[in-house]
Each structure stands twice: as structure tokens, then as C-alpha cells.
Structure 1
Amino acid sequence: MRTAVGIPLDEWVARGSELEYRGQRVRYWSAGNGEPLLLIHGFPSGSWDWHYLWNELAACYRVIAVDMIGFGFSAKPRHYEYSLLDQADLLQAVLDHLDVGGYHILAHDYGDSVAQELLARDRSGPRKLGSVCFLNGGLFPETHHPVLMQKLLMSPLGFLIGRLYGRARMAQTFGNIFGPQTQPDETELDAFWRMIEFNQGRAVMHLLIRYIAERKVQRERWLQAMQHSHVPLRLIDGAVDPVSGKHMAERYRELIPAADVVLLESIGHYPQVEAPEQVLAHYLVFRHLPVKAECAAGPATAAV
């Protein structure tokens, strides 16, 4: 049973700050001390996905999260060339804005692909990455099983499907990808929906979904970066996720040398929401920190 205390969505939004990127307003969050840790969210939600882990991680690290273009509480322009590469540019711009040098990554879903791009870039220098930890995501296109809604968004009628997308359909989809014993409650579903519909987000879902095709284009480059990684990698994976669960973790073990994989039994696609305590414990072990000890960085500072 989950015991972590989260951050209500309204409070989360109020803690954020804004900057401009390519003429668009982007919302970001930063808190804590220590080594910078970039948290990268997935599709179709936003950085609030990390709220159960935020305060705990901020006690150990300088945590940074960004609602990427088209997501959460950032701008969602209807005439914009959405791409995973551009999202990586955005995150690098935020890190530069915050005067971050070296950093680590904890990513989920869509964010895994952005993390793969950042890893590939870092490999060719200048090297700033210290480690990458992936949660459930389509690391390999051949093992990604998109849900029906994603398939419809990729169709010629995707623009219409997005506009007709409602909270009830979202709740059904999330129910299918969460673990059977860790289903989202109504408060969480309300928060997920607010992130999706903010700034008329339904109108750009068919544009964002192009990332699935983009993954195929970048597959070999990203795979090479992972197979020859110059930094530690770990995969923490919810095993019963139908999208990128145990089957994806098995493929990870096949492709990545000395693969570091942690399978969370009975957990679905959103481990950081369904089982934040387990994710935190396995992440701190990955970073060689005692799970229950006080972090050397000291208490977290207020978000900026």
C-alpha cells in the first residue's frame, strides 16, 4: 500500500516558475540542494507525475522538472513542430537557465525517449550526464505496445480524436495501464485530466503523438548510446504494464550489456505514482545512497 504523501495539484502549480522558449511560455520547478537531478515526465500528463517523490528527492538532490512544450501547464501551440529532439533542446535550455553543469536523469515514458536523446548528445560531448534511470517507456520501438487511444491519434482522424477525448476515456485508459491493485483514485484522475486539458491540450495530442514514429527513426542512434553508455544506467519497470512492462524489460536485458533492471511486480505503467516508495528505494540504491539515511545535501530549500 502506498504511504507516500503527495503534493496537491494546485499547490504544485503554485510552486512553479516560468521562462520563455522559442516564444512559448514553459513552466518548470526546482527545489533542494546537492547534485542536480532532472525528472522528465511522460505522455500525456506532466511534471506533477513526480509529486509523490518530489520532497523526498529534494532532500537528497537539486531536483528539476519541466512541463515540456505541449504538456501540463506549459504552452500548447497548435502550429508548432513538436519533436523529441526539440524537447531535449528545451530541457537543455532550462538547465542552462538554472546554471546547471553536471546532472543526472530520472525519466518516464515519453521522457525516456528524451533522456535517450540527451544521453546520445552527451556521448559526443561535452559530457555533463552522471547517470540515467528509466521508468516504464518505449525504449525500443519493437516492444512498445501503444494503447488504442494512441493508435487512433496516429490515424488520419487523429486531430478529431484528440478533440473528442474526454475524462471518461482518459480514466478508462489509465485504468487499463495501471496495476490492478494500484488504480488511480478520482483525485489523481482529476489532476491528470487538468494537465491534459489545460491550454486546450486536446487540440495538440495528435501532433504530440508523432513521437512514436520519431522513436523508430532514432532507434539505432539511441541504442548505440545505451549499449556504449559512459554513465550508469538502470531500468525500474512496472511488470504488469501492457504498454512497456515485463516484455520491454526482457528486451532491455537482451540488448543492454550488464543490464541493471529492477522489476516491480504487480505495478503498471506509472511506478512513480503507483509505488513511489519502491521507486525511491531502488533509485537511491542505484545512486549508492542509504534508503533511510539523511542525505548529505541537507534539508530541501523552497521551490524556485
Structure 2
Amino acid sequence: MTHRASALISAQEWFSAGERVGYDAERPGINPRSPLRAFIRRAAGTGVTRTFLPGWPDGSYGWAKVEAFLSSRFHFPRIYLDYIGHGDSDKPRDYPYSTFERADLVEALWHAEGIAQTVVVAFDYSCIVSLELLARRIDRERAGNDQRTRITACLLANGGIFADGHTHAWYTTPLLTSPLGAAITPIGQRSWRMFAPFLRPSSRADTH
């Protein structure tokens, strides 16, 4: 019980152990002079780096218990990150959010950290980002341009990638396709009530 309790940390404690690095989204790369900031947390070690990609809504903080477990038993290096718009990364209102820009950020961090090869562990929507990263890897290999980080293995959890492998409650689809669903869905997507306090768009990102 004592060990389990010690593994529980707050979001603020999790983020305070990381770093907000400058990110140039127009020319994807880590740039200290860029006003746009992305959160990254590192754990030193030896061997192949494990890259943990976040899910919704926890962001990188969702890996806090996993990190507590790994740090007490394993010694491989680990890297955690938050996409732009999530966790402790900036949350600009006018930004081209997409699977592709998330993959750009991941590759930029790998390059900046000098990671030659990595195991990717992805949760939730990051499974789709992982597929994009794998597709880019295949395209580069076919083109004879194999100079980026090599993904040696990939673990996808709760990604809903295969349509025949997951279902929704029977009443959700009729509701969303009804006039009521069409009216409510856009409102819900814009409402700040759907964000936890530490995930809400911040005013500091408005000028980016």
C-alpha cells in the first residue's frame, strides 16, 4: 500500500519534472527561440529509448503511474511529451491541429534528442499518430532516405484502429445523427467544461 501511495503524484508535480521546449511548427524542429512551447519529460538510462505518446484527456500525465513503476525496475531511457494543445504544452487557438503535425512534433523531438532508435508506446489517439510515423518510415526506406529515428517496435493500446474490434453504445450513433446531436456536438467541442483545469487553453498561447 505504501508503494502504491508513493507512486501517486499530482499533475503539477509531473509537469515540474519536465521542460517546455521551443517548437517551430512551420519548419518542424526544436528551436529555443520559438515562442511556441511543447512539454517534454525525460528519464535517463541506457539502451533503446522508449517513447511514450499521450492519450486523451490526461496527456503525458496519464503515464505518471507507468513511469513510477518503470523507474523502480528498469533502466532504459524514456521520453514523454505533450502535443501542442494538450497537457503542459501551449494551446494556441489558431493552430493547424492534425495527426500530421503531431507526428512532426514527435520526429522533431527525436531529432533534437539525438535518438537513433526507439520503441514507441502509444495510447488512445496516439495510435493513429504512431501509424503515421510508421508510414513515414516505410516511405523513407523505399526512397532510400533512411536518416531519421528508427522505430524498432510499437505498442498500441486502446486505439480503436480496427473498426470491427470496438463498438459504441447502441444509442450513441442515433443521437449524434439526429438534429439534436448536430446542434449539441459543436457546442460541446468548443466548451471549456470538457477540459480539466490543467488542460484548458491558456492565455499565454493566444499570442503565438
Distance 2:183 2:82 in 1: 27
Q: Structure 1 runs of 4+ off > 4 angstroms? A: 141-148, 154-159
* Kept in 1: contact 2:127–2:157 (CA 8 A): yes
Match of 1:131 in 2: 153
Of 33, 45, 49, the match for 1:36: 49
* Kept in 1: contact 2:45–2:75 (CA 8 A): yes
Question: Which amino acid in structure 2 is aligned with residue 134 of structure 1?
Answer: L
- Aligned-residue offset at 1:138: 2.0
For 1:33-182, what aligned pairs fall within 5 Å after superposition? 33-34=45-46, 35-58=48-71, 59-124=74-139, 125=141, 126=146, 128-141=150-163, 143=165, 145=167, 155=182, 158-166=185-193
Question: Which amino acid in structure 2 is aligned with residue 73 of structure 1?
Answer: D
Q: Which has the higher strand share?
A: 2
What percentage of aligned pairs have identical amino acids? 28
Distance 1:32 1:155 in 2: 48
1:85 to 1:144, Cα distance in 2 relative to 1, 3 A: farther
Distance 2:156 2:108 in 1: 22
Question: Which amino acid in structure 2 is aligned with residue 63 of structure 1?
Answer: R
- Aligned-residue offset at 1:196: 2.7
* Kept in 2: contact 1:20–1:26 (CA 8 A): yes
Of 193, 197, 205, the match for 1:194: 197
For 1:212-223, what aligned pairs fall within 5 Å after superposition? none
- Aligned-residue offset at 1:100: 0.8
CA RMSD in angstroms, aligned pairs only: 3.0
Of 14, 17, 21, the match for 2:16: 14
Distance 1:81 1:145 in 2: 30
Match of 2:30 in 1: none
1:130 to 1:3, Cα distance in 2 relative to 1, 3 A: same
- Aligned-residue offset at 1:108: 0.3
For 1:255-270, what aligned pairs fall within 5 Å after superposition? none
Distance 2:198 2:160 in 1: 21
Distance 2:89 2:182 in 1: 26
For 1:279-294, what aligned pairs fall within 5 Å after superposition? none
Structure with more contact order per residue of length (Cα contacts < 8 Å, sep ≥ 6): 1
Distance 1:105 1:32 in 2: 16
SS at match of 1:37: strand
Distance 1:85 1:144 in 2: 24
Q: Calculate the TM-score normalised by the size of structure 2.
A: 0.71
Unaligned runs of 5+ in 2: 26-33, 204-208
Unaligned runs of 5+ in 1: 171-191, 201-304
Question: Which amino acid in structure 1 is aligned with residue 160 of structure 2?
Answer: G
